[in-house]
Structure 1
Amino acid sequence: MEQVIVAFENQKSLWRVKEILEASGAISCIVCKSADQVRRTVRKLHITTVVCGYKLSDQSAENLFEDLPLFCAMLVLAPQDRLELIQNDDIFRLTAPVSKGDLVASVRMLTQISHRLERFVRPSRSQEAEEVIRQAKRLLMDRNGMTEEQAHRFLQKTSMDSRSKLVQTAQLVLDGAELG
């Protein structure tokens, strides 16, 4: 069974979309109530599809999309006037109200697209490299009071700025700790 995240500011919409998708029998929904919760859940459970409204309690869907992994697809379900405000062409849109069949078919299509995309986008790292990254994050969390997400973003930004691989940046953090 495919897992997707459902996140809406309006609780009635959230539970209605969840009910429709799960009634199809092929989709299991994880409910999130904020953009921050969506980000954490995507990373923790490796979810590839997010269905949400135009805006969540703490952020717009478009801003949230920028923080998601490249393989993660987003479907925004909203009235047409709200959908027209979305600038990012990589976000899928569906005008509300929508038929049950169109909603289920759209979500199934997105899950298939995101799984295919994931094969090309997601780099495979060795277990050793993953462990170096975990240790560097742990060190940043302990020494700097960062959350795991903040430590990960720090490593990502530093590696992008220095044009080095994430594992190389993580190793530099660990090497610096040994010197200090």
Structure 2
Amino acid sequence: MGADEDLMKITDASMTRFGRFGGRFVPETLMQPLKELAEAYGRLKEDAGFMEELTSLLTDYAGRPTPLYLARALSRELGRKVYLKREDLVHGGAHKLNNVLGQALVAKAMGKTRLIAETGAGQHGVASAMVGANLGLETEVYMGEVDIERQKMNVYRMELLGAKVIPVRSGSKTLKDAINEAMRDWAGSYET
């Protein structure tokens, strides 16, 4: 029996999007929360009320759809039309809000009361803080101590919006370590 056959025996390909190349590699402690999340998302994406609320927030709160802008000087230089999609015009100044809105609505629909996020430069943390404030969800943002020093304005914005910024003092004290701490928190508290 070859390696591919061995892999197929231990992998339920029906649970993947990419056949034998799909699957997931996550700690066992996250399997149940991921299963619950997948079930909730599968149900909610078919729920007209949920989709209407998400669309409304993306339009009225985030300011989508954002415009296309013809970059005239660049177009002249290259000899063809170049358009820029202006995601910087989304409320909060970054595309991060698009994703956080959907995730937070799913969390709220699942009965969760708290958002956990990680951030490096601060934009994801700011978006999470904005959405948490808008939806009435407690928000905690893990951020490396080094990044906190570098991004004081975004830390101020997160706190102004009601988020608790949790300094990460382990490892390189940057985004990688903030991600690890956020995942640890989620694994230990996914019920909330």
Common topology (TM > 0.5)? no
Larger Rg: 2
Q: Could you tell me the TM-score, scaled by structure 1's length?
A: 0.31
